[in-house]
Amino acid sequence: MDSQLLLKIGYYSIFESKSASGTKYTIDNGKTLFIKRFNKIIANPYRDVKDFNNLDKAKKYIEKKLQKKYKDKKKKIDKLPKSLYLILMKEESTGKTFVKVGITSKRYISRRFSKEYGYEGYVLETILRRIDTPNAERLEKEIKNALNKKITIKKYRPVLECFSGYSECYNYLCIDEIIKIFDEIINKN
């Protein structure tokens, strides 16, 4: 019996095996896991390998597993304490500094803006404000709406395409107004 990779869905692979008794579809989520924090590969303690006689049943099984994993992850993330922040970032290629407003569940904001999270080419210069609050998402939305309504506050578009959170970036020349709006909204809540 010769098994060949048919397709990948998420972190699952589906292998097709043909024999005299028919076609079998095997799903597998991997023998090993890479632990980035320790830069180490380990045996997958959660390995999921199952055989199916029908490709559609295999796909549905994977879809169900991935949806459950996504819901569990979302619940965990929603429970994490969040911080609202106002920071100065510098673009290494242009040397320009800009202001960013956002939220994070990371304990250290500097880790949030490391190369591991897609911020290669950017340096966190200063943390102007950091507020730990259960209302971080609502306050961030309020602050962004207030900043976007102000004609005098200009948006900033980082050069690199991979910069996540680019819609929360503002021109450094508007820093005094941004801080004023940030503090007003925080103080009234």
Q: How many CB atoms lie within 10 A of CB 166?
A: 15
Q: What is the pTM of this model?
A: 0.62
Quick one: average pLDDT of 7-35?
91
* pLDDT at residue 156 in the model: 92
Look at 110 and 18; give whichever has higher pLDDT.
18
Distance CA 180, CA 166 (A): 21
Residue 37 pLDDT class (50, 70, 90 cuts): confident
* pLDDT at residue 118 in the model: 64
Phi and psi, residue 180, nearest 5°: -60, -50
Quick one: average pLDDT of 109-115?
74
Look at 3 and 88; give whichever has higher pLDDT.
88
* pLDDT at residue 99 in the model: 94
* pLDDT at residue 76 in the model: 84
CB-based contacts of 26: which residues, under 8 Å, 6+ apart? Answer: 3, 14, 15, 17, 49, 50, 51, 52
The pLDDT tens digits of the residues spanning 62-73 come to 999 999 999 998
The pLDDT tens digits of the residues spanning 165-177 come to 788 999 999 999 9
* pLDDT at residue 108 in the model: 78
Residue 189 pLDDT exceeds 90: no
* pLDDT at residue 1 in the model: 58
CB-based contacts of 169: which residues, under 8 Å, 6+ apart? Answer: 89, 98, 99, 100, 155, 156, 157, 158, 163
The pLDDT tens digits of the residues spanning 127-164 come to 999 998 888 889 999 999 999 999 999 999 988 776 77
Average pLDDT, the chain: 88
* pLDDT at residue 186 in the model: 92
Phi and psi, residue 160, nearest 5°: -75, 135
Delimit the domains of the chain by residue range.
Answer: 2-78, 83-188
Helix (H) or strand (E) holding 123: strand 122-132
* pLDDT at residue 165 in the model: 79
